[in-house]
Chains A and B, each alone.
Chain A
Amino acid sequence: MHFDLNQLSLALPEILLLSMACVVLIADLFVTERSRGATYILAQITLVAVFLMVLATAIDKPQLAFSHTFIRDGLGDLLKLFVLGIGFMVFLYSKDYLKSRDVCFGEFHVLALFGILGMMILISANNLLTIYLGLELLSLCLYAMVALQRDSILASESAIKYFILGAIASGMLLYGMSMIYGMTGSLDLTVINQNVVQHKTDMVLIFGLVFVMVGVAFKLGAVPFHMWVPDVYQGSPTAVTLFLGTAPKIAAFAMLMRLLVYGLMGLYAEWRDILIVLAVASMAIGNIVAISQTNIKRMLAYSTISHVGFLILGVLSGTAAGFASAMFYTLTYAVMALGAFGMIILLSRFGYEAEHIDSFKGLNQRSSWFAFVMLVLMFSLAGVPPFIGFWAKLNVLMALVSVNLTWLAIVAVVFSIIGAFYYLRIIKLMYFDTAQDSQSLECHTGMRVAMSLNGLAILLLGFKPDLLLALCLQVVPG
């Protein structure tokens, strides 16, 4: 039972992030109210440093560390890079929003950094224990962040809902894990994957699988475990919604992959059927209910649910191409959601939250450039070619067709067309209605540049989707 210090080098990005998060936590105590920007800059430096660290320590072959509780592989590295990049953009977008509202500025950054640490732990987990702990670390930060706007009743209410439902889901997950442990005799995902085959017909294992999937579906926000999503998205401060709706989705995808593909691939036939139900229900409820929403955050919440359905479709095809398409979908969705929620922040100003879809009325007259960026975002979310969202959907559908699930692909297309309505409605409001609000947009230059880059990334990636897709194909398990 000796401890090899060399394995620490595999986890250097996590160690750096943890140390820096503690530094930010302490440094925030000593900055005065006027120089709040110092915390922000320190947090951004942290993310950039960790990003570079992930790149610098990247390795070719998957490697295990800490008695196989930790895995460092290409899949993890790519997801981590995206999580860190999105974290950087979230901080950039929410800087002015947090400063002008009654939201604890320092605590937001500290909790977000710890949340990102939780996501990184979750992404490189190779053990049921690490998955659970990473998930709890992430969730705990998110619960607190939702409630950070302490005087808002709506925020407190959604935080309580999120917390209680999240605690129940964690309990379910833990219960399922205990059953899987009882049957396979190990917490190590690699060992579980080897042992699962001989217990395939065991009732206990199937029950464990069901409970674990309830937990995962809750974290992803898949129907019928989606009830928290609209309330939490609407109730939290927009900056928190921005964080909540983007990076954790990547972590949840990683959790789905680690548990089902790395750990329980032997039960593929069983979990495929469960995933089909989750995916179809999510696409149906998400797309249909979103049509009747007038609050843009709520609408985007239902849109998230429908996109989660699509993501699940990619995983359930069970092939390398399917996993790669799901990963591609998750990453591009996170970038698109980042832009969409960022746009809400951009349109808001002190004393006015652009939460109603009418805030987008006549945006073209106020700022034709940002109206165009929003147009790109909406077209991409709806899956209109040539934007990136189209390629993401196409790849998932191709993966489905290749495993003879054509009916599922048709269902997905039908619901996507229904869903296109509410994205196009925003475009109609922006270009064909007159503005109610004639004030010019208030935001700093950094935000304008970042927002433009976000829109351009979606546009340009749409012309070259092969680059990212090839990366995804390279890292997923075969």
Chain B
Amino acid sequence: MGVEKILFYLFAAIMLASATAVITVRNPVRAALFLVLTFFASAAIWLLLEAEFLAVALVLVYVGAVMVLFLFVVMMLDVNLARLREGFARYLPIGVLIALLMITVLVMIVGPEQFGLAKFAEPLRHDADYSNTRELGLILYTVYVYPFEIAAVILLVAIVAAIALTLRRRPYTKYQNPDEQISVKRDDRIRLVDVPTEQRK
């Protein structure tokens, strides 16, 4: 238990520190990299909860794919930092007020009094041969098949919506048509002109 506790606090501390860094560092690229670190730390905490599959998926999907894509976007966009910080001082009091309110509520609600060991017994630890992936696989297509299918439809709608909102058909854009390119014949490109020879005078 001792090691686990130390690990938990270590990763929790890393997570909190990097999450704070995400919103405080000036450089957006660094902020994105700190977000990667936050995801890593939360993946480690999921490992402690015996949710290996989710931890691996978090690293693969978020760190590997989403954040890399995000980094590209951040690098391509010209983000005006000065404008982002405008009004920071003006909104600070109300921001602090809301933050304090939220923290109070959170401590009241999810503190040890409500969810402590006295109210909820510690869940049983599984054996070494327990596979989180197998358990997920068993229920994903049986118990949760309906929500799973809906989630798939949501992703489809997201694709349709994204394309509908961003794809613009520009009739004047010049583009290559590979289909025509490969089916081109010699006669389409070369025209043999019969030039009448003239008599040298």
Do A and B interact with each other, yes or no?
A: yes
Interface residues of A in 1-20 (CB under 8 A from B): 1-3, 11, 18
Q: Would A144 and B161 be within 8 Å (CB), given that A1-B139, A203-B109 are in contact?
A: yes
- What 0/1 pattern do residues 144 to 173 of B give for CB contact below 8 A with A? 111100110110111011001100100000
Q: Which residue of B lies closest to A143 (CB)?
A: B161
Neighbouring A residues of B153 by C-beta, 8 Å: 18, 114, 117, 137
Q: Is the CB of B164 within 8 A of A130?
A: no
Neighbouring A residues of B142 by C-beta, 8 Å: 1-3, 67
- Asked if B65 lies at the interface with its beta carbon under 8 angstroms from chain A, I say no
Q: Is the CB of A107 within 8 A of B164?
A: yes
- Asked if B141 lies at the interface with its beta carbon under 8 angstroms from chain A, I say yes
Q: Is the CB of A129 within 8 A of B147?
A: yes
Neighbouring B residues of A110 by C-beta, 8 Å: 160
Task: Give A380 Cβ to nearest chain B Cβ, in Å.
Answer: 34
- Asked if A127 lies at the interface with its beta carbon under 8 angstroms from chain B, I say yes
Contact of B164 among A134, A148, A182 (CB under 8 A): A148
- What 0/1 pattern do residues 101 to 125 of A give for CB contact below 8 A with B? 0001001001100100100010000
Q: Which residue of A lies closest to B115 (CB)?
A: A182
Interface residues on A, range: 35 or more
Interface residues of B in 84-109 (CB under 8 A from A): 105, 108-109
Neighbouring A residues of B161 by C-beta, 8 Å: 111, 140-141, 143-144
Residues of A bordering B, CB below 8 Å: 1-3, 11, 18, 22, 25, 65-67, 69-70, 104, 107, 110-111, 114, 117, 121, 127, 129-130, 133-134, 136-137, 140-141, 143-144, 147-148, 150, 179, 182, 202-204, 207
Q: Is the CB of B150 within 8 A of A70?
A: no
In the assembled complex, the Cα of A18 lies from the Cα of B152 at a distance in Å of 11
The 5 closest A-B pairs by CB, nearest first: A144-B161, A66-B146, A107-B164, A133-B150, A67-B143
Task: Give A81 Cβ to nearest chain B Cβ, in Å.
Answer: 21
Neighbouring A residues of B147 by C-beta, 8 Å: 69, 127, 129-130, 133
Tally of A-B residue pairs with Cβ under 8 A?
82
Residues of B bordering A, CB below 8 Å: 105, 108-110, 114-115, 138-139, 141-147, 150-151, 153-154, 156-158, 160-161, 164-165, 168
Q: Is the CB of A136 within 8 A of B154?
A: yes
In the assembled complex, the Cα of A147 lies from the Cα of B160 at a distance in Å of 13
8 example contacts (A-B, Cβ-Cβ < 8 A) are as follows A121-B150, A130-B146, A133-B147, A134-B150, A140-B158, A203-B109, A204-B109, A207-B109
Neighbouring B residues of A134 by C-beta, 8 Å: 150
Q: Which residue of A lies closest to B149 (CB)?
A: A18
Q: Would A107 and B114 be within 8 Å (CB), given that A1-B138, A130-B147, A147-B165 are in contact?
A: no
Q: Which residue of B lies closest to A140 (CB)?
A: B157
Q: Is the CB of B164 within 8 A of A111?
A: yes
Q: Which residue of A lies closest to B141 (CB)?
A: A3
Q: Is the CB of B151 within 8 A of A67?
A: no
Q: Would A104 and B143 be within 8 Å (CB), given that A1-B138, A203-B108 are in contact?
A: no
Task: Give A139 Cβ to nearest chain B Cβ, in Å.
Answer: 10
Contact of A25 among B105, B139, B146, B160 (CB under 8 A): B160
In the assembled complex, the Cα of A11 lies from the Cα of B108 at a distance in Å of 42
